[in-house]
Amino acid sequence: MVFGRTGCPIRCPLYKKEIDYSKVNCPVTERIYDSEVIALGKDFLMYKENSDKILEAVYKNIEEIEN
């Protein structure tokens, strides 16, 4: 897999070693992904009607939170 011009950070010729991503700790990112992200398949968003339904649901949730 090549990422960008150098391959960094997936494969980084500048580092000259294999990168072990299992040792990476990103607690804020992991918390956000676990509790605040809505992950949908790419095919679901191919249709405007689906995107509109998602936005409608998000707006309703924001209204509930604010009230």
pTM: 0.42
Report how far residue 56's alpha carbon sits from residue 50's, in angstroms, rounded to the nearest whole number.
Answer: 10
- pLDDT category at 10 given cuts 50, 70, 90 is low
For residue 16, pLDDT beyond 60? yes
- pLDDT category at 56 given cuts 50, 70, 90 is very high
For residue 39, pLDDT beyond 80? no
Q: Does residue 49 contact residue 43 with C-beta atoms inside 8 Å?
A: no
Both tokens of 50, joined, read 């689906």
Q: Is 7 helix (H, G, I), strand (E, B) or coil?
A: coil
